[in-house]
Chain A
């Protein structure tokens, strides 16, 4: 049962990808998620146009059916990452750099610098729900999304571009098609879903930012639906994510049309080794159902 995956030129031992904003803060930790955890590729913590602290705590909480976070895109800023890039140049894993900005120009500036350091792909975060000025606004408009993608594409040359979309776009399939036309090489769906928790004893929102992004098991049906719709509107491959916790979830995303699979919140529930576990479970299901490669079942739910 072969899980080897070629996703926009990234040669991955399996389709799992560490999602951005999870653990990807330094090189040794990324290497650990690859080597000990078994991830097929690693996404770095999103890189922004300047040094940014993110929100005060609580910034990540667990509620009954998932996580809610408003970490708020902390970033050293692209200017302060020389040491990290130097270490990353010796990596033995496929690396996706994630970038954000508050304007088309900022996206382009960050992309230009990041591209110099030759990550294997650049994920453009046009969908973070946690900051007033960053991301989300881009990802809900077809025109603005396309503008950002076009501007980034121009700066990064041969490096593959992944557009990360929000499930809160009125029609995510239309946005995805717009990104494809603007030069995206892949679509990543979905980012978190906006939500809020109030502590009734404190009579206050729990997250310092009040609102945050839902992730984990609660949003899996949202992600599946989005990937399913996007699969029908674009030809480029999809990095599917949202609530993948086990092999069956992973297969479900593949059947909806995903090529690669983002894992994030599951590392909170099951630890860094969850990538390996999910792959083992995928292989078990494939064996039981006489499926030799994921190609056989990709998008099969559309038939």
Chain B
């Protein structure tokens, strides 16, 4: 593979929530759910985004919050961005028949492709989807098409139940059996989901995030313990995370400085 960005036209832009948009590109990428691509705005920066559509027109979904993503949100259909990928391992969908997917905030992004592919292979799916508000709830329609068991929670109770995804997950675990729990969201939420899975002795796969540079496993910027999020991840199993002291605890800033995940996520929100 030649790991240079290719300039590709934006074919279609879909507004998902007030501040989240999906960009369909004139660029083919066969992506597994959970894999990501690097999007480049020449002269500005290049950032990783989970792939939310695979095939002839791949897509990335972007929340406008920082310098780069705000510039992304200024772009119009027909504009070009640089793209390279797919990267990372993606979720492992082998031998899963009954699953529960837990997503929080923009963590719903990789979940769309995941739920659609699981449905295609005939798995029985439950989804717990958490958001700050009903309006901010990403991919509720898309996910709703993959299952009748879509449970929504919001922080303000404006949609679904007011409260935490973990409460719903535990109540589901008490009455149903799952082969695997898939999860993506803020690291604190994922850590809580991981601990629930440990308690109920269920396999889990979590889609994690660290600051990323090369995306191809050479620079070490995205190290999570001994793992490289860009190459060994971004999806990790419960077994892997059990041995990873940094999970839910610490992460590296751009400089390589090791800080708490709290400080890391505050920096990421800037």
Interface string of B164-194 (1 = CB under 8 A from A): 0000000000000000000000000000000
**Would you call B255 and A77 a contact (CB within 8 A)?**
yes
Per-residue B-contact encoding for A78-95, CB less than 8 Å = 1, 0 else: 001001100000000000
Which of B15-23, B35-43, B124-132, B144-152 lines the interface with chain A? Answer: B35-43
A28–B45 alpha-carbon span in the complex (Å): 29
- Interchain CA distance A80-B217 in the complex, whole Å: 24
Given A60-B216, A199-B4, does the pair A51, B223 have CB atoms closer than 8 Å? no
Residue B44 interfacial (CB < 8 Å):
yes
CA separation between A118 and B137, bound complex, in Å? 52
Interface 0/1 of A265-282, CB less than 8 Å to B: 101100100000000000
Question: Judging by beta carbons under 8 Å apart, are A76 and B216 in contact?
Answer: no
Q: Give the docked Cα–Cα distance between A57 and B254 (Å).
A: 11
Determine whether A201 belongs to the interface, using a CB cutoff of 8 Å to chain B: yes
Residues in B neighbouring A83, C-beta threshold 8 A: 258
A24 on the B face (CB < 8 A): yes
A17 to chain B, nearest CB (A): 16
Determine whether A183 belongs to the interface, using a CB cutoff of 8 Å to chain B.
no
Chain B 238-259 per-residue mask, 1 if CB under 8 angstroms from chain A, else 0: 0000000110000011111110
B263: min CB distance to chain A, Å? 12
Q: Is B225 interfacial (CB-CB < 8 Å)?
A: yes
Residues in chain B near residue A60, CB distance under 8 A: 213-214, 216, 218-219
A213 CB within 8 Å of chain B = no
Q: Residue A298 at the B interface, CB < 8 A?
A: no
B257 near A26 (CB under 8 angstroms)? no
A292 contacts B by Cβ under 8 Å? no
Give the residues from 200 to 238 in chain A that come closer than 8 angstroms, CB to CB, to chain B. 201-204, 206, 208
CB neighbours of A77 from chain B (8 A)? 255, 257
Is A173 among interface residues, defined by CB-CB distance under 8 A?
A: no
A63 touches B252 (CB 8 A): no
Output the nearest chain A residue to B215 by Cβ-Cβ distance: A60
| A57-B7 contact in complex given A23-B220, A45-B220, C-beta closer than 8 Å | no
Residues in B neighbouring A61, C-beta threshold 8 A: 3-5
With beta carbons under 8 angstroms apart, the residue of A23, A57, A84 that contacts B47 is A57
Residue B221 CB within 8 A of the other chain: yes
Q: C-beta contact mask, A135-171 vs B, less than 8 Å → 1, else 0? A: 0000000000000000000000000000000000000
Nearest CB on A from B6, distance (A): 8
Q: Cβ of A203: which chain B residues have Cβ within 8 Å of it?
A: 42
B65 within 8 A of A: no
Neighbouring A residues of B203 by C-beta, 8 Å: none
Contact B220 A24 (CB under 8 A): yes
Instruction: Kindly name the residue among A24, A76, A77, A265 whose own CB sees the greatest number of chain B CB atoms within 10 A.
Output: A76
Are A204 and B213 in contact, with the CB atoms below 8 A? Answer: no
Chain B interface main SS type: loop
Measured in the bound complex, the distance between the Cα atoms of B179 and A2 in whole Å is 49
CA distance A25 to B229 in the complex (A): 13
Contact A62 B2 (CB under 8 A): yes
Chain A: number of interface residues, binned into ranges = 35 or more
The reply on B46 being an interface residue by CB < 8 A is yes
Q: A201-B7, A201-B80 are in contact. Are A29 and B256 (CB under 8 A)?
A: no
Whether A25 contacts B44 by the Cβ 8 Å rule is: no
**Do B256 and A268 touch (CB < 8 A)?**
no
Bound form: Cα–Cα A53–B267 in Å: 13
Selected from B1, B5, B226, B256, the residue in CB contact (under 8 A) with A206 is B5
Q: For residue A51, which residues in chain B have a CB less than 8 angstroms away from its CB? A: 255, 257
- State which of A22, A62, A74, A208 has its C-beta within 8 Å of the C-beta of B254: A74
- Asked if residues B218 and A199 are in contact (CB atoms below 8 Å), the reply is no
Docked Cα-Cα span, A25 to B212, in Å, equals 13
- Please report the C-alpha to C-alpha distance between residue A60 and residue B82 in the assembled complex, in whole angstroms: 14
- A62 near B4: Cβ-Cβ < 8 Å: yes
* Cα-based distance from A57 to B221 in the complex (angstroms): 12
| Cβ–Cβ contact B225 & A206, under 8 A | no
B221's closest neighbor in chain A, by CB? A25
A-B pairs with lowest CB-CB distance, top 9:
A57-B46, A25-B220, A62-B3, A60-B214, A76-B257, A28-B226, A201-B7, A204-B42, A202-B42
Q: 16 additional contacts, CB 8 Å, given A63-B4, A76-B258? A: A23-B218, A25-B252, A28-B245, A29-B227, A54-B213, A56-B45, A57-B38, A57-B46, A58-B46, A62-B1, A71-B213, A71-B219, A75-B256, A199-B82, A204-B43, A267-B218
Chain B residues within CB distance 8 Å of chain A: 1-7, 38, 40, 42-47, 80, 82, 213-214, 216-221, 223, 225-228, 245-246, 252-258
